[in-house]
Structure 1
Amino acid sequence: MEKELKYVDLVEQPISMHPKKFALWLFMVSVVMIFAAMTSAYIVRQSEGNWLEYDLPQIFWLTSGIVVLSSLFLQYGYSSAKKDNIAGLKIGLTGAVILGIAFLIGQWYSWVALVDEEVFFVGNPAGSFLYVFTGLHALHLISGVIFLIIVLISSFKYKIHSKAMVRMEMATTYWHFLGGLWLYLFMFLLLNH
């Protein structure tokens, strides 16, 4: 008895992504391009001379720790949501929101420290760049905190769980991105200051 071979055409599954996730990724790529352009401009302008020398605010170390801790809280919330642990989800989101607000307060105090050191937005470009870097990052972080609050409210309405993860995945991706962006900026400033 001969076996008959059957050819089955495998239909390739197109690579797909939720449209909102795709939009978020496009937005993050544009933010990376903005900060890459600004850090390049910083290096070029610094090499021209007439650059104010000052110490970076010590609170940057604290805010860096805060942003890492906030990402850990959010990752805990994300993992909890995947397991339908709603209490863990709420704890993770609440911790991330509180720490995000603490980060913003820390950034405000970094500006206070800069003013105390007589580093101002207007004047030498060294100070201007630092205010623009931290201010633009803070603006994005405010949007991230608002997003986290929206997701937190959704979690209290039981709209975030293992079968409804899009908002939580987006919030987690964006928040980790913002944390990574801050660490990049801080390391850049430490190495090029």
Structure 2
Amino acid sequence: MKLWHALTEKSWLEESVPANAPFDSPQREFQSRRIALTLFLAIATVLFSLFAVTFLTHSQYPGFEALAGDAWRPLSNTTRLWVNTGLLVFSSVLMQVSLNAARASQPGLSLAALLGAGFLALQFLIAQVWLWQILSDMGYGVRSNPASSYFFLFTGVHGIHLLIGLGVLYRPLRHMWRAEAARTIIDSLRLCALYWHYLLAVWVLLFWLLTRSADTYRALAILCGLEA
């Protein structure tokens, strides 16, 4: 429920800043960053949606071979994808634990959970690269067929977004290292948690989309009016 609330909260409407608050106040700074993150996530959503539309369109063209469906196709066995997903799920959970611990005035637990979230996210990225290598060795490289190309595109763009998130973790870590005000740490962790939960939701949708059969793509294309 906390994850769902984080993804659906209308951050630009909550915690309005008093009119007399200084422009350089922590409240205004947090609100500005939250609005910026909301806009960034909206743009990312549009980007992934456009990729999905073009993916379904290309799935109806000759030469497109779905990566799942038949037993011999590479993504029919989703074990590796489930392992990778588990890493990202636990990373997202630890990010929420870090936020909750900060709110409960437990800085040690908050720091440990934050470091754990970052470590698992990094392991997820490494596992994704390993999966790329496995697919390439099986003959499903970037240029082998459109389905493979889109797999690398989707997972690559998602991975870049996660790398950006890992880079931004220096902010809450810096706040913790300097023992800054609890409100500052909490606000920073709130933004990180929202971003982590968003990337988890995107990955779950990508997992579902990339492991469907050709018949499912056909049905989705017809439903969306994208049939060839």
TM-score by length of 2: 0.74
> What is the CA–CA distance in structure 2 between the aligned matches of 1:121 and 1:130, rounded to whole Å?
8
**Which residue in the other structure is 1:29 paired with?**
42
Q: By how many angstroms is 1:156 displaced?
A: 2.0
**Which residue in the other structure is 1:81 paired with?**
102
Q: By how many angstroms is 1:146 displaced?
A: 1.3
> What is the CA–CA distance in structure 2 between the aligned matches of 1:30 and 1:163, rounded to whole Å?
26
Residues 93-102 or 182-191, more deviating: 182-191
Q: Is contact 2:175-2:185 (8 Å) kept?
A: no
Equivalent position amino acid for 1:104 in 2: L
> What is the CA–CA distance in structure 2 between the aligned matches of 1:149 and 1:192, rounded to whole Å?
41
Equivalent position amino acid for 1:171 in 2: C
Q: 1:120 to 1:139 in 2, by over 3 A?
A: same
> What is the CA–CA distance in structure 2 between the aligned matches of 1:192 and 1:29, rounded to whole Å?
29
- Listed as ranges, the matches of 1:68-147 within 5 Å are 68-147=89-168
> Which deviations, in whole Å up to 9, do the C-alpha atoms of 1:47-106 show, x marking residues without a partner?
123112432264211110110001111111000011111011101101101101100100
Q: By how many angstroms is 1:154 displaced?
A: 2.2
Q: Alignment partner of 1:84: what SS? A: coil
Identity, in percent, stands at: 26
CA RMSD in angstroms, aligned pairs only: 1.9
Runs (5+) with no aligned partner, structure 1: 1-13
> What is the CA–CA distance in structure 2 between the aligned matches of 1:161 and 1:191, rounded to whole Å?
45
2:203 paired with 1:190: no
Q: Alignment partner of 2:113: what SS? A: helix
> What is the CA–CA distance in structure 1 between the aligned matches of 2:37 and 2:166, rounded to whole Å?
15
2:74 paired with 1:55: yes
Q: 1:158 to 1:121 in 2, by over 3 A?
A: same
2:186 paired with 1:165: yes
> What is the CA–CA distance in structure 1 between the aligned matches of 2:187 and 2:126, rounded to whole Å?
29
Q: By how many angstroms is 1:152 displaced?
A: 2.1
Equivalent position amino acid for 1:141 in 2: L
> What is the CA–CA distance in structure 1 between the aligned matches of 2:165 and 2:132, rounded to whole Å?
21
Q: Is contact 1:74-1:96 (8 Å) kept?
A: yes
* Bigger RCO (CA 8 Å, 6+ sep): 2
Larger radius of gyration: 1
> Which deviations, in whole Å up to 9, do the C-alpha atoms of 1:102-139 show, x marking residues without a partner?
00100110101111111111241111100000100000
Q: 1:59 to 1:156 in 2, by over 3 A?
A: same
Q: 1:75 to 1:127 in 2, by over 3 A?
A: same
Q: 1:154 to 1:164 in 2, by over 3 A?
A: closer
Q: By how many angstroms is 1:160 displaced?
A: 5.9
> Which deviations, in whole Å up to 9, do the C-alpha atoms of 1:127-172 show, x marking residues without a partner?
1100000100000000111112332232122236246422111111
Equivalent position amino acid for 2:177 in 1: F
Q: 1:138 to 1:43 in 2, by over 3 A?
A: same
Which of the numbers 176, 179, 201 marks the counterpart of 1:155? 176
> What is the CA–CA distance in structure 2 between the aligned matches of 1:95 and 1:143, rounded to whole Å?
17
Residues 56-65 or 91-100, more deviating: 56-65
Q: Is contact 1:51-1:126 (8 Å) kept?
A: yes
Q: Is contact 1:78-1:89 (8 Å) kept?
A: yes
Q: By how many angstroms is 1:173 displaced?
A: 0.6
State the number of aligned residues. Answer: 180
